[in-house]
């Protein structure tokens, strides 16, 4: 397909994003193709490891391409979104549980759906241009694609901070927060990829000293509040104007549900449980949340003025995260 270059080179299965003009945004078809390639290589003795990378300097993958989900939802067809999120999450789980090494080279923007691809690889390489974020609360969604799993494992209150603000991390913060493993100057990536193709051995990865991690020194104790309103109050008391601005801009329902998801994921033993919980929200997103309004304001019309209707009350959060019955995302035949 035009949006991905999938091939075997030497001992490596190669998956390269090839739509740099769209910041390598992930479509439903791309998610299915990645999963199909992983399945094909799982028991192939010719493939020792998998390499994920992308064309273009601006982005590894800046998120999911949700235009089709938006337009279908506006037309009253909510199945398009459910199918996209379900298949995307199954692909995310396949990467996380893959029996062979998966090496991701993540330059530029790595957001949302891009984190779902690169963030669950066994070897995650970042460089000077890397900017990683889970900005879903700004479009009325939640940190999905296994984002709640990663955020729940970040040290201290970094997980809550990133989920609610959608702030971007450079390479040092990404490594500190557990979204990446290795810093390597991007000029060195082609030679390393060639070595990995030749040997199929990830021990060829030799890290350079990582940049500083500003988040490691920040006081994020305000984000330990029991509920969203407690966090807002603590931020006001501390005079944290920048964080307050982000929280006042983002979807209240998304932030309240995201807070619940991050904290629930801390108790999970496997990523699949977090993905299933995320799917409860996203399966309902086009019909029952502010997601369509958020996408309209931020992506379609770009007026940056979403008119949020849901206030993120406990009842609203409970309704969005309630079990889906026969529509639950199950894992018996996947992962």
How confident is the model over 25-50, as pLDDT tens digits?
999 999 999 999 999 999 999 999 99
How many CB atoms lie under 10 A from the CB of residue 331? Answer: 17
- pLDDT tens track for 64-117: 999 999 999 999 999 999 999 999 999 999 999 999 999 999 999 999 999 999
Give the per-residue pLDDT at 133: 98
Contact predicate 207/182, CB 8 Å: yes
Q: How confident is the model at residue 1 (pLDDT cuts 50, 70, 90)?
A: confident
Give the per-residue pLDDT at 194: 98
Give the per-residue pLDDT at 335: 39
Taking all residues of the chain, what is their mean pLDDT, rounded to a whole number?
96
Give whole-number Cα distances, 280 to 96, 149, 151, 284, in Å.
20, 15, 18, 7
Give the per-residue pLDDT at 296: 97
**Which domains are present in the chain?**
4-327 (3.90.226.10)
- pLDDT tens track for 108-149: 999 999 999 999 999 999 999 999 999 999 999 999 999 999
pLDDT higher than 70, residue 334:
no
Partners of 61 in beta bridges: 110
In whole angstroms, what is the distance from residue 67 CA to residue 127 CA? 29
- pLDDT tens track for 266-325: 999 999 999 999 999 999 999 999 999 999 999 999 999 999 999 999 999 999 999 999
The percent of residues in the chain predicted with pLDDT above 90, rounded, is 98
In whole angstroms, what is the distance from residue 250 CA to residue 166 CA? 9
By C-alpha distance, which of 159, 178, 145 is closest to 278?
Answer: 145
- pLDDT tens track for 2-13: 999 999 999 999
pTM comes to: 0.96
Where do we find the tokens 């086009």? 286
């Amino acid at each position: 397909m035009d949006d991905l270059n999938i091939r075997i080179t030497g001992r490596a299965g190669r998956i390269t994003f090839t739509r740099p003009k769209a910041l390598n945004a992930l479509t439903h078809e791309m998610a299915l193709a990645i999963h199909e390639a992983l399945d094909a290589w799982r028991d192939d003795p010719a493939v020792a490891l998998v390499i994920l990378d992308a064309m273009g300097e601006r982005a590894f993958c800046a998120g999911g391409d949700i235009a089709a989900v938006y337009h279908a939802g506006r037309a009253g067809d909510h199945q398009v979104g459910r199918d996209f999120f379900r298949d995307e999450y199954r692909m995310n789980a396949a990467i996380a549980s893959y029996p062979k090494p998966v090496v991701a080279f993540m330059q530029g923007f790595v957001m949302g759906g891009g984190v779902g691809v690169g963030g669950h690889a066994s070897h995650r390489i970042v460089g000077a241009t890397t900017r990683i974020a889970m900005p879903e609360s700004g479009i009325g969604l939640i940190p999905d694609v296994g984002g709640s799993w990663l955020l729940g494992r970040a040290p201290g209150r970094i997980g809550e901070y990133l989920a609610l603000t959608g702030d971007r991390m450079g390479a040092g913060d990404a490594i500190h927060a557990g979204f990446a493993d290795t810093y390597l100057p991007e000029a060195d990536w082609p030679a390393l990829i060639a070595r990995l193709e030749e040997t199929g051995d990830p021990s060829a990865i030799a890290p350079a000293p990582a940049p500083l991690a500003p988040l490691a020194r920040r006081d994020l104790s305000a984000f330990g509040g029991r509920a969203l309103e407690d966090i807002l109050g603590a931020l006001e008391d501390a005079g944290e104007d920048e964080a307050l601005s982000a929280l006042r801009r983002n979807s209240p329902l998304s932030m309240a549900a995201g807070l619940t998801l991050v904290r629930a994921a801390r108790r999970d033993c496997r990523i699949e449980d977090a993905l299933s919980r995320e799917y409860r929200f996203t399966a309902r997103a086009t019909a029952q949340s502010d997601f369509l309004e958020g996408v309209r304001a931020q992506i379609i019309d770009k007026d940056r003025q979403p008119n949020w209707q849901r206030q993120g009350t406990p009842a609203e959060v409970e309704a969005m995260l309630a079990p889906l019955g026969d529509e639950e995302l199950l894992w018996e035949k996947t992962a």
